[in-house]
Structure 1
């Protein structure tokens, strides 16, 4: 990518898209094409056709998606499947029609089987049943990966996809109904500390383990792969380290300075027992994370709540 090439970042207002915009701007890219969801409805096929016809971007980062945590995924199952399928199909197909030089599609590690061996290799895709609570979202993301792979194989399109682990960072969602576990815990502990509550309720047993990646590290990885990688393997992006939800809660409690009690609501679902990505491929491709978890959470907490 040259500094003046026209680059479209779909979903630039979201946590991932905004991190990619920041990275490109830091690297000196000046010709970024950005549209909010109000300006361009990516689920509307004709709107996407008109946009590509008018703008003709040379590179595309497809970070737009309908996203949420366990409760949102489980509640809005039809919307998560339909809207994500529409967004991906429209953008990927028009990128083919208008001869985009390269496209990077952001999938998600939830596409892997619920009981996949750990750490999860890229080759474990479609080898077992999905986690039921987010199956519609996962199926949509798998379809996006397969679209990129199929356009690569049939038409020779340089479309690649990546599988980030759980993300956190600037522009995250802290709404308790729709947020993921790390921002939800930050919000809960912050409010408990502010309101001098004696206890905080956390969903599940605390035993599942999760891997967390700062979104700035993800943006660096996407930039690196856009410059260096082509192929049909969807590349895992993560830290290669995980932490139990219980230890995560204790770490966030320490960072917030909350002195009360944690009550574990075991009537609520745990989700997948463990989800650690094998990151050996991306390490071989020359990228490694730089932001460690405690440092990253402290920065995010200071920015979002102080």
Structure 2
């Protein structure tokens, strides 16, 4: 660890029972954060989208002035898989830019002393050295299929760094890899690859279909992190990290999409054939994060992929009952 990285580590910056506003608490990440931070003894503040539209600058600023939380975790975002990103790039860039601008600026104006912004591994260049270190940011072209979303997230990272540089704000950035877990989006039109596979294999099993067609070649490699592991990492960052550099959050290993499909099929109990449609886009060839900076803070993932997929499948089945 460098001298600068040592200087970025601190004793408890946000001890319980601090008040934390979790923006996006109903989503995959936000719900995991609420579970983790509540168990750790924090007072959690939440608002539904009907109660507070974070795209509304005035409403967001007024809410933050009134509540004056000790910290904000910005987990609210418009997210989706390749199909959704390719179909709705305007919404992916505009909604995310508005949410980020309003929450980060409103937090500083309201005197919020700690803020954690959640970026995404898709902000890294489409082709870069693996595993990906944080300094790879903005060193090459982005993956075209999610460029609008990635640019919005990059803007959020620069906004956080600008508040640190200009005002000395104790605001930091986490960069998660591909996430999954209870509360994920299982809509086949807008979901990410793992929950989409769970649903498609389950429906194929129930219908007795002999095969399932999947997008791409199955050769790209991805790592997958359970949302509860991410939430644990976020608690560590809120309490111990105060550096300018974003911090990668990943599980440390990857597998091909074909291997993922077989793992999901086994968890669901689907025994049919997998057919790959190579006319569909693959996305980025590989995304494996270097998590050395986070490991230096004492964090390690705890949930194996097979265990996590099985638990996610059980949780989704319960919502279908």
Aligned residues: 305
Shift of 1:3: 2.8
Q: Deviations over 1:198-250 (max 9, x none)?
A: 11011000000000000000000000110000011000000110010001111
Gaps of 5+ in 1: none
Shift of 1:6: 1.9
Aligned position for 1:268: 280
Query: If the length of structure 1 is used for normalisation, what is the TM-score?
Result: 0.98
Shift of 1:106: 0.3
In 2, distance between residues paired with 1:255 and 1:13? 25
Secondary structure at 2:115 match in 1: strand
Shift of 1:152: 0.3
Aligned position for 1:201: 213
Gaps of 5+ in 2: 1-13
Aligned position for 1:16: 29
Shift of 1:252: 1.1
Shift of 1:259: 1.7
Please, which of 122, 130, 134 is the counterpart of residue 118 of structure 1?
130
Aligned position for 2:263: 251
Shift of 1:5: 2.2
2:246 is the counterpart of 1:234: yes
Which moves more between the two structures, 189-198 or 51-60? 51-60
Secondary structure at 1:22 match in 2: helix
Secondary structure at 1:225 match in 2: helix
Aligned position for 1:88: 100
In 1, distance between residues paired with 2:231 and 2:244? 20
Aligned position for 1:78: 90
Secondary structure at 1:278 match in 2: coil
2:148 is the counterpart of 1:133: no
Please, which of 169, 180, 183 is the counterpart of residue 157 of structure 1?
169
Please, which of 17, 39, 46 is the counterpart of residue 4 of structure 1?
17
User: 1:28-107 residue pairs with structure 2 within 5 A?
Assistant: 28-29=41-42, 31-107=43-119
In 2, distance between residues paired with 1:223 and 1:22? 11
In 1, distance between residues paired with 2:19 and 2:310? 35
2:36 is the counterpart of 1:27: no
CA-atom RMSD in angstroms:
0.8
In 2, distance between residues paired with 1:161 and 1:40? 23
Aligned position for 2:7: none
In 2, distance between residues paired with 1:215 and 1:259? 27
The structure 1 segments of at least 4 consecutive aligned residues displaced by more than 4 Å after TM superposition are: none
Shift of 1:274: 0.4
In 2, distance between residues paired with 1:52 and 1:131? 35
In 2, distance between residues paired with 1:305 and 1:78? 33
In 1, distance between residues paired with 2:271 and 2:26? 35
